[in-house]
Amino acid sequence: MMESTELHNENALHKHTGFLKKYEKYLGEFVYGGIDGCVTTFAVVAGSVGAGLDSAIIIILGFANLLADGFAMSVGAYLSNKTKKDNYNKHKQIEYWEVDNLPELEKDEIRVIYKEQGFEGELLEEVVNVITSDKDRWVNVMMKEELVMFDEDKSPVIIGGVTYLSFIIIGIIPLLVYVVDYIYSLESNLFLLSSILTAIGFIIIGWLKAFVNQTPFWKGILETLLLGGIAAIVAYFIGDFLESIIIN
Calculate the alpha carbon distances from 159 to 23, 152, 167, 177, 240 in Å: 10, 12, 12, 29, 37
Residue 152 resides in a domain: yes
42 vs 6, higher pLDDT: 42
55's enclosing H/E stretch is helix 55-101
Cβ 235 vs Cβ 50: under 8 Å: yes
Residue 222 resides in a domain: yes
Residue 10 resides in a domain: no
Query: How many domains is the chain partitioned into structurally?
Result: 1
Residue 6 resides in a domain: no
Report how far residue 14's alpha carbon sits from residue 20's, in angstroms, rounded to the nearest whole number. 10
pLDDT single digits (tens) 183-225: 888 777 888 898 889 889 888 888 888 888 888 888 888 888 8
Q: What is the pLDDT of residue 23?
A: 64
What does 62-97 look like in DSSP terms, one character per residue? HHHHHHHHHHHHHHHHHHHHHHHHHHHHHHHHHHHH
What does 180-206 look like in DSSP terms, one character per residue? HHHHH---S-HHHHHHHHHHHHHHHHH
pLDDT single digits (tens) 20-73: 456 678 888 998 898 889 888 988 888 888 888 888 899 999 999 999 999 999
Residue 11 resides in a domain: no
pLDDT single digits (tens) 233-243: 887 788 777 76
Residue 139 resides in a domain: yes
What is the residue-averaged pLDDT of the chain?
A: 84
Q: Which domain holds residue 173?
A: 27-246
The pair phi, psi for residue 152, each rounded to 5°, is: -95, 115
Residue 129 resides in a domain: yes
